Amino acid sequence: MPKQIKKRQITGGEKAACIAAIAGMTIGLIFAVAFIIFIPELENASTSEQLAKSMALAIGYVLFFAGASVSGILSLICRKKSGQAGDLMRGFFSLISAFLSLLAVRFMLALFFSGLGKEDTVDKIIGDNSYSKFIENQAPAFACLVIAMSIMLFVGITAAVKLAKR
């Protein structure tokens, strides 16, 4: 009769890191859906709706950055204790996602202050360019934000698989 191989039990730190990665993935998905829904309607909305939508997007952005950062830090701490390569991968990619999301901070600040109606602040953020030229110039930063959300989707799926296997 063959010997049965015991699976290594998941530790509390590994479980917390996986839950943080899944939470980061969920926040990223909600943020992406909110972005897709709110951005096209932002120009035609009333002032109070613009404020609410821009606040929701700004909060979503901050939560996404925080979720990716926490996931990365917990995974790297967990890697140090467990020695698992999967934890290193999740930590590395989560921190890459957090860094890529930081590249879009200027775009999100302009969107946030535009929703608040602070045109002077928006003009300072934009600089000498027109608003349409600014948006055009922010395409790479927006692409980085989309890539960051995609990376967190990958990290969250790997964390969910790890939790499901154990």
- Asked whether the beta carbons of 24 and 64 are under 8 A apart, the reply is yes
d(CA 53, CA 112): 9
CB-count exposure of residue 2 (10 Å: 0-12, 13-18, 19+): exposed
- pLDDT at residue 46, as a whole number: 67
HEC readout, 90-146: HHHHHHHHHHHHHCCHHHHHHHHHHHHCCHHHHHHHHCCCCHHHHHHHCHHHHHHHH
Task: For the chain, give every domain's residue range.
Answer: 12-165
Residue 130, Cβ neighbours under 10 Å: how many?
9
d(CA 39, CA 56): 11
Burial 68-103 (b: 16+ CB within 10 A, else e): bbbbbbbbbebbeebebebbbebbebbbbbbebbbb
Q: Report how far apart, in Å, the C-alpha atoms of 80 and of each of 42, 68, 129, 161 are.
A: 45, 19, 47, 21
- Asked whether the beta carbons of 159 and 17 are under 8 A apart, the reply is yes
pLDDT in tens, the chain (166 residues): 677 667 767 777 888 888 999 999 999 999 999 888 887 766 666 677 777 888 888 889 999 999 999 999 999 898 888 777 888 898 899 999 999 999 988 888 888 887 777 888 888 888 887 777 877 888 888 889 899 999 999 999 998 998 888 7
d(CA 27, CA 46): 27
